[in-house]
Amino acid sequence: MAISPDFRAFVEDQLGRVVPVRSRPMFGGLGLYSGDRFFGVVDDDVLYFKVDDDTRPRYRRRGMRPFEPMGTPMNGYWQVPADVIEDSEELESWAREAIDVASRARAKPRRSPANSKPQKKDRT
């Protein structure tokens, strides 16, 4: 992961105009948060937003690709079109949608490996 200082400043400025955002370095790239919601990633000077099954088609229709660190696709984050980043109204819509996806994902209970298999009864 890598990000140029100019692209980082551009993305932070554009997003900061439309949603509350903070960023944190992660593995040479940048993680994007709104409040405590992790909704985006910046890597190799590309912005990716969090998606789910409902929102992913919007990205596919625009010909965007999933985030692929080390060549492995992560279908939870997809590339944001460049024209969206430059259009405040569009960017706000896409960013809020990604924040909503992050909120929904966080609300889902996670199953731990210990809870995913039926427990054996102790016969002692």
- Cα-Cα end-to-end distance for the chain: 54
- State the angle between helix axes of 88-107 and 5-16 in degrees (0 to 180), rounded to the nearest 10: 90
The third-level CATH classification (topology) of the domain covering 5-106 is Yope Regulator; Chain: A, (3.30.1460)
Answer whether residue 29 shows pLDDT above 90: no
The SS3 call for residue 103 is: helix
**pLDDT one-digit tens code per residue, 76-113:** 999 999 999 999 999 999 999 999 999 998 766 655 55
CA distances from 84 to 42, 78, 91, 99, 114 (A): 15, 13, 5, 16, 43
Residue 122 has pLDDT above 80, yes or no: no
State the DSSP code for 85. H
Nearest to 40 by CA among 86, 93, 101, 90: 101
Band of residue 124 on the pLDDT scale cut at 50, 70, 90: very low
Q: What is the pLDDT of residue 97?
A: 97
Mean pLDDT of the chain: 88
Q: Where are the domains of the chain?
A: 5-106
- pTM of the full structure: 0.83
Residues in the chain: 124
